[in-house]
Amino acid sequence: MSKKLSIRDIGKELGISITTVSFILNGKAKEKRISEALTEKVLKFVEEVNFKPNMMAQGLRTGKSKIICLMVEDISNNLLFAQVARLIEEEAHNKGYRIIYCSTDNKKEKAIELIRLFRDRSIDGYIITPPEGIEKEIQSLLDEKIPVVLIDRNLPLLHCNHVVIENLASTYRAINHLIENGFKNIAFVTLDSDQTQMADRLGGYQKAVTENGLKSYVKKVGFHESGEQNINEITTFLKENTGIDAIFFSTNYIGVWGLQAIKSLNLRIPEDIAVISFDDQDLFKFYTPSITVVAQPVPEISSHIIRLMLDALEEKDNQIHEIVLPAKLIVRESSINNV
């Protein structure tokens, strides 16, 4: 048979009802008192024709799709999320689950639309990096006992499983590293966002400069602005604040924009300006000079995320787990004062 078979096709071919085929494929043959001979006949035929059930359609019938939705800002343009996705996919597959990936572009409206779409398709659980303003939709999932794990950030108004980083403490350590290396005019470039991870990173910066009696230099850029626009914004910020001798970028993609801005101004790293970025990536390791980073523990993050989800699905764990992991300051050439 060349066309993709449906349960209806199998029933017609074997002369039995669609319901009987469905019960057998869903492991309910004994429960429904279907004979072993008929069960064996159906399973043998399914194997011969290499039948693959439509998991979403199966979910509509059984209430369980064996599918987990991973909903992040941008799965294609964020190394952290891509790494996490790969690791949790492997573990989920080992337990018989599939992962559906989707990107919200950090937009509330798109996130709400996706949640509603997948809810109608009996998705078993959701792993979400939530944009601001979707508390109501996530609470409705929780009210229906659908497992949800928030990652990268949490929503303080919700009592929900989450896996996050010590954003404030790790940024505080990084700024103090710059201060210990003699840098006194330290800037902080971040997103124009009130999300918890961004607020905590800014808080860590402000705590360090305040404790050391230093001036604060903060520049916020737009998530939805083009890379070119944000490079220009950072370039202008540095031109207007020529005394800045060190700069911390609150995400790795902002760090990439920042390096381009620094290059356009012919500033030397670290002689003219020291650099640290939150989140590591290969570019930072091989850039000349190599870039100091606050690195998130990707394997540990991934392990906790999928464990919480599978425990909720398989073990019916209804407890709320709030996991906060330390990040690691990896000191490279860009933040060392050689003078």
pLDDT 10s digits, 85-104: 888 988 888 888 899 988 99
Amino acid 295: pLDDT: 96
Amino acid 60: pLDDT: 46
- 311-316 — which CB contacts under 8 Å span 24+ positions? 312/125, 312/147, 312/149, 312/161, 313/68, 313/97, 313/124, 313/125, 313/147, 314/95
pLDDT band at 136 (very low <50, low <70, confident <90, very high): very high
**Average pLDDT of the chain to the nearest whole number:** 89
Distance (Å, rounded) from C-alpha 23 to C-alpha 247?
62
Q: How far apart are the first and last CA of the chain?
A: 75
Strand order in the sheet with 246-249: 217-221, 186-191, 246-249, 274-278, 292-295, 328-330
Per-residue pLDDT tens for 45-78? 888 887 766 554 555 454 567 899 999 988 766 6
Residue 1 has pLDDT above 70, yes or no: no
Per-residue pLDDT tens for 268-318? 999 999 999 999 999 999 999 999 999 999 999 999 999 999 999 988 888
Strand order in the sheet with 161-165: 98-103, 67-72, 125-128, 148-151, 161-165, 322-325
Domains in the chain, start-ordered, CATH in brackets? 7-53 (1.10.260.40), 62-164+298-326 (3.40.50.2300), 167-296+329-335 (3.40.50.2300)
User: Which two three-digit tokens encode residue 209?
Assistant: 């400069």
Percentage of the chain modeled with pLDDT above 70 = 93
